[in-house]
Amino acid sequence: MNKDSVKEIRSGAFSESVAGEEDPGASVDLVPPAPMQPGDEAPPGAPGTGETVCRACGGSGRGKGGETCPECGGTGKVNVGVGGG
């Protein structure tokens, strides 16, 4: 490489971006995590987890007296760890 192939960098050429300055093109939507039910082992969408049928109600979402299942909150599903380890 010779000196003619290297462009000179102007003083202040990189001053357009300042630490802490907002980037109008970037946005982050902060969505609160879904609430966990008592039967959940992890929040929905957590890595290494998945939905399965609630063991307490068999997926009906109802308890013995027809009330809402206390384990799944009436959804019939709980979030549990999957895989080995």
Q: How many domains does the chain have?
A: 1
d(CA 62, CA 85): 33
Q: Is residue 81 part of a domain?
A: yes
Q: For residue 35, give the amino acid letter.
A: P
pLDDT at res. 72: 95
pLDDT digits (tens, 9 = 90+) for 28-39: 667 777 788 999
pLDDT at res. 67: 96
For residue 49, count other CB atoms closer than 10 A to its CB. Answer: 18
- List of residues 6+ apart from 40 with CB closer than 8 A: 78, 79, 80
Check pLDDT > 90 for residue 20: no
Closest to 78 measured CA to CA, from 44, 32, 40: 40
Q: Is residue 66 part of a domain?
A: yes
pLDDT digits (tens, 9 = 90+) for 38-84: 999 988 888 999 999 999 999 999 998 999 999 999 999 999 998 76
Q: Per the confidence metrics, is the pTM higher than 0.85?
A: no
Domain hosting 77: range is: 51-85
Check pLDDT > 80 for residue 85: no
